[in-house]
Amino acid sequence: MIIVILSYIYIFMVCLFAGVMVRESLSRFISVPKTETIGITGVITTGLAVLTVYAEYFSIFYKVGAICHIILLMILSLGAYKYRRKISALLITVRKKFYSKEGIVCLIIVLISAYFTSRGKYHTDTGIYHAQAIRVLEEYGVLKGLGNFQLHFAYNSSYLALCALFSLSFALPFALHTMTGFFMALFTCYAVCGLMKFTSRSSHVADMARLSIVIYSITAIEYLQSPATDYGTMYMVLYIMCAWIVHAVEKKDNADDIPVYGYLSVLSIFTVSMKLSAAAIVVLAVVPFVLLVKKKATKEIWSFIAIGFLSFLPYLIRNVIISGWLFYPVEAIDFFNVVWKIPAEYMWHDSAQIKVWGRCLYDVNRLGDGVSVWAPIWWGEKTFYEKLLIVFQVAGTGAVLLNLLIRTVRKKIRADVAVFYVTVLVNIAMWFFTAPFIRYGLAFLLILPVCAGMDLAENIFKGKSFLRFACVVIAVVCMGNWTLHYAKVDKDHFVAHVKDAFYVTPVPYEDAKTDVIDMNGETVYCSAQEVVNSYYYCPNSCYLDMVKRTELIGETIEEGFKAK
């Protein structure tokens, strides 16, 4: 637990330096949002995105290890010296907040996060491929055709590159896996500090978005030790959506929209590289693009496009290297014919499995079943608190439509608020019709009913006291059952692991019995248990049948894998 907290401090400082350095550099070419507008959280989030992109680019050419980290620290040292006054001012602000009520609350959140990050059970997918994918990045960087060795490795995620960057296994006797916990601490502190000013605002729509972050933390807290792509992506989505609606409904009259919405749009493009299931969040980019077109700001338009493209480009390159496909597992986009390309039939089967498992059909031969066939089966397998959450999506959609009608009559439709709801609805629709695992779309499922419900209340009723009461009622009705369920899970998890001996060092990655396999004279590994792909052997696969249908491209592992 102590090591986890020290890791948080290190990540915070590195991200702060990177965030300031990049923001100050970009301010010479485009308008960047003021620090007072996005706060420390915005600066740190900028740093997280920049460091992720750096790790991605580096992994294309070399492994994400000591050299990668040393070069990063050298660059940041130069930047820290150049922008030392700005960094010093931010650190003074952080220190002052540390001694305030907000600081005490944030300290409690960090301690809770560190406790759960240091112990407990891992997400299933972490055992299957997350941990091993990180190990491969540490040992080799991006390997050609790695997806052939195990198809899960083709689920490319920039988040795993970030986790590898801060694993620090080259310097420590164990590998750190604290990034999900850091995300939880950072964004939960952001949300709670905003909620602490609840009574100072007349509108509480954005407070509902903040509350969604807190509820998500309650939901995911038992898996904070997992470097799982779902959690990092959902936290980033929640932050982007929350920051967007905060600016939309709480901004001052003289606030400039373009820097804030442009910044959040670039973050939304970057977030798609964390997990493809969040792809529709890029709908947000419509607002700054239209604003810039109206302003005839050609230079800024191309600058934002370039920044977004460069932040997304390493994801595309890594996709092609890992799988031979631009977007795995999307068969429709087929531009490359490389020797390591995952065969289309394997990809089709993998894609079909994701969809039918999400629909609770569990048979790829039923992929063609219509919504009227699989929806009742899917609904039947949901628990009571999940069903309530889904029902409130219908209610939330109704509230959005009523809000639209009211604003149309009053001629008070605002593009930024409208795009916020359109983005949420489009993402929920995409989630439902592709692979409706609750965890894939949870950020949007949490936001819609509470934000739309509060928005409707504010459109119909007046009076600060009543609206505050309405805010509480909407939150309890929409999310009470869900929150109580996971609060009980968290309590049981907390009690069960109190006596675990991880108050200094965190729980290690899971291990498993692993068989040694000769592949054209090179040693590879395969776990005996299909649910635990051991971090401690590399390269390792969970599935012997996938290993058997794979061979080396050349004579060494560094040259990559291809299908036989």
How many other CB atoms are found less than 10 A from the CB of residue 132? 30
Per-residue pLDDT at 253: 67
DSSP secondary structure of 434-482: H---HHHHHHHHHHHHHHHHHHHHHHH---HHHHHHHHHHHHHHHHHHH
Per-residue pLDDT at 412: 86
DSSP secondary structure of 309-342: HHHHHHHHHHHHHHHSSSSTT-TT------TTPP
Residue 360 lies in a domain: yes
Residue 362 lies in a domain: yes
**Cα–Cα–Cα angle for 323, 327, 332, nearest 5°?**
110
Per-residue pLDDT at 446: 97
Whole-number Å distance between alpha carbons of 192 and 227: 24
Range of the domain at 367: 344-373
Per-residue pLDDT at 429: 96
E-state strands within 240-295:
none
Whole-number Å distance between alpha carbons of 243 and 260: 9
Closest CA to 392 of 187, 138, 212: 212
Torsion angle of C-alpha atoms 154, 158, 161, 162, degrees rounded to 10: -150
Q: Is 414 helix (H, G, I), strand (E, B) or coil?
A: coil
Residues facing 33 on adjacent strands: none
**Cα–Cα–Cα angle for 352, 354, 360, nearest 5°?**
100
Residue 332 lies in a domain: no
Residue 352 lies in a domain: yes
Helix (H) or strand (E) holding 242: helix 229-250
Q: Average pLDDT by consecutive 10-residue portion of the chain (564 residues)?
A: 96 97 91 90 97 97 96 95 94 90 95 95 91 96 96 96 96 95 97 93 93 97 94 97 94 80 95 93 91 85 92 96 93 88 93 93 92 95 95 96 93 90 96 93 96 94 89 94 95 92 93 91 89 91 93 94 94
Buried b (16+ CB within 10 A) or exposed e, 232-249: bbbbbbbbbbbbbbbbbb
Cβ distance 44 to 15 under 8 Å?
yes
Whole-number Å distance between alpha carbons of 528 and 543: 8
Helix axes 101-117, 179-195, angle to 10 degrees: 150
Residue 363 lies in a domain: yes
Residue 245 lies in a domain: no
Helix axes 384-410, 438-460, angle to 10 degrees: 40
**Cα–Cα–Cα angle for 138, 515, 533, nearest 5°?**
45
Cβ distance 336 to 326 under 8 Å?
yes
Residue 361 lies in a domain: yes
Q: What is the pTM of this model?
A: 0.95
Cβ distance 335 to 326 under 8 Å?
yes
Q: Strand 522-527 and strand 540-541: pairing?
A: parallel
Whole-number Å distance between alpha carbons of 212 and 448: 9
**Cα–Cα–Cα angle for 433, 436, 437, nearest 5°?**
165
| CB-based contacts of 82, cutoff 8 Å, min separation 6 | 21
Q: Is 562 helix (H, G, I), strand (E, B) or coil?
A: strand
Q: How many structural domains does the chain have? A: 1
Residue 368 lies in a domain: yes
